[in-house]
Structure 1
């Protein structure tokens, strides 16, 4: 399903932002930019309401962004408790913000797909055993977890600083 693209600012709020619908960034272009980003910033909420932001590696696959994390990390604990999160990325084409909901990926078939995508993008190879994800290249084969973020809303800000798009999924 393709999201609805709309101008982020109304004409009375826009100066100096563009209100020309021709300046909307099409979602397929934004999705390509997201897929190519080498690093993302993931914002989650702690149990006490304080924000938590960390850099993460991720892969765009089938309309969702999957990120990896050690299962005991603050971000992983936050996502398991409350999947609401925000991912941001800077690209040559502009800045992207995606609000969404994350779920812990536990299905073996999807874990295999995501492991293959991480290997293709980063040459980071995960081992999968007994429904768990491991980095066998590191001493002790530490455990990792995949979280898949389904977008609910997105924002794109053009590199020119004068264009902005909102996507509603």
Structure 2
């Protein structure tokens, strides 16, 4: 997926007077470095589903994996729109980030191998995957997973001290 610089704006309605827009480079770094994310999907009956998971940032895309029988995958088959959040449960510190977009399944073995390497680099050997049949397979035999990339259409950074809300449009 190609590198894109989004349109960046500070929403002054939800920001202190001294706040400035958070640069996309800073928010991108938060997405790269975050260990844990929360994904929000929608069940076929319209109810929300939210769960924590691991993800890697590569090629200006956030990638995650899930078993084809898991609720996330079942929801995505019905509605591919998702929201990812990451941050801290504190009033001070780094900005919290929300990424909204469409989940697209990745099946290309070359891309999957590169992403499997990224999982190991970020999370360690316990997250080593073999790649075949269009997905990840855990070397322990614990099962297989589909990989999805999020094509962002919007993202938000919620700065703390001073409070500021930055919107990114792609």
Give TM-score, length-normalised by structure 1.
0.89
For the Cα contact (< 8 Å) 1:59–1:118, is it kept in 2? yes
Instruction: Say if 2:168 is the partner of 1:167.
Output: yes
Tell me, yes or no, if the aligned pair for 1:96 and 1:157 is still in contact at 8 Å.
yes
The alpha-carbon distance between structure 1 residues 147 and 163, as it changes in their structure 2 partners (threshold 3 A), is: same
Among 58, 68, 71, which residue is 2:68 paired with? 71
Q: What's the counterpart of residue 52 of structure 2?
A: 55
Q: Which runs of 5+ in 1 are unaligned?
A: none
Give me the whole-angstrom Cα distance separating, in 2, the residues matched to 1:159 and 1:36: 18
In structure 1, which of residues 7, 11, 29 is the aligned counterpart of residue 10 of structure 2?
7
Size of the aligned set, in residue pairs, is 161
Distance 1:161 1:53, change over 3 A: farther
Q: How does 1:103-118 map to 2 (within 5 A)?
A: 103-118=104-119
Deviations 1:78-100 (A, max 9, x none): 12322100000005411101111
Q: 1:161 to 1:75 in 2, by over 3 A?
A: farther
- The normalised TM-score by structure 2 is 0.88
Does 2:127 align with 1:129? no
Give ranges in structure 2 of 5+ residues lacking alignment: none
**Backbone CA RMSD of aligned residues:** 1.5
Aligned to 1:144: 145
